[in-house]
Chains A and B, each alone.
Chain A
Amino acid sequence: AQRVTQPEKLLSVFKGAPVELKCNYSYSGSPELFWYVQYSRQRLQLLLRHISRESIKGFTADLNKGETSFHLKKPFAQEEDSAMYYCALGPQETSGSRLTFGEGTQLTVNP
């Protein structure tokens, strides 16, 4: 069975501080990991996917297969980063058709 765990429901930081949103996964095959962001009453947007190894809006995430983690990091948080962040797991074998989402972390960046 595949599972995604985001241990923090709420995370609050001050503007300019580093932020790390944790994500751990459980999957026996080859995982594909994604981070999605949802701003208040807006669409779910793809933020990062591990295969592209890119940085979007200053966020990065590295897949650590040994620790089965895919934590999202940003060195200097901005107020506009306040949103709900979902980590998601999609098995390569079934083309991402069964994305499993974590429960989400609500990030608040205070001025």
Chain B
Amino acid sequence: DTEVTQTPKHLVMGMTNKKSLKCEQHMGHRAMYWYKQKAKKPPELMFVYSYEKLSINESVPSRFSPECPNSSLLNLHLHALQPEDSALYLCASSRRGVSLRQGSSGNTIYFGEGSWLTVV
């Protein structure tokens, strides 16, 4: 089972709204990721959680706020977004956490179906 589940599949929100994207995996993976993907473009890394701690923030604006309540769940809280933030938001997970000291060959990243976000 390589299932990463994301909800909602579609979200339309105003620029003053507060909403959240949710992600769940039950594969025992210790790293979880948020990516942003614009149409016909590759995914861009936003955040990485490793062992439930934020390990990478790719200089993402503070209107995006990630949260990892436990090892299976990852949220992305959205507030005061701009229309240019409209995109597909992908959650992903991988078996091993991020560790610079650890040999890590074969740590494949598995993606969810994504949440289509439209900011109006």
Per CB-CB distance, the 8 closest pairs between chain A and chain B, nearest first, are A101-B42, A95-B104, A43-B113, A44-B111, A96-B107, A97-B98, A95-B107, A95-B96
> Which of chain B's residues 83-113 have a Cβ closer than 8 Å to chain A?
90, 94, 96-100, 102-113
Q: Is residue A28 contacting chain B, with contact meaning CB distance below 8 A? A: no
B96 to chain A, nearest CB (A): 5
Complex Cα distance, B2 from A45, in Å, reads: 10
Whether, in the assembled complex, B57 has its beta carbon less than 8 Å from a beta carbon of chain A, the answer is no
Give the size range of B's interface with the partner. 20 to 34
- List the B side residues contacting A98 at CB < 8 Å: 45, 56
Residue numbers in B under 8 Å from A43 (CB-CB)? 90, 111-114
What chain A residues lie within 8 Å of B108 (beta carbons)?
34, 46, 49, 96
Contacts of A95 in B (CB 8 A): 31, 94, 96-99, 102, 104, 107
Q: Are A86 and B42 neighbours in the complex by a CB distance under 8 Å? A: yes
Q: Known A97-B48, A99-B45, A102-B42; judge A49-B56 contact (CB<8 A).
A: no
17 residue pairs from A and B, CB less than 8 Å apart: A43-B90, A43-B111, A44-B90, A49-B106, A49-B108, A52-B106, A86-B43, A92-B105, A93-B100, A94-B100, A95-B98, A96-B94, A97-B50, A97-B98, A98-B56, A103-B41, A103-B42
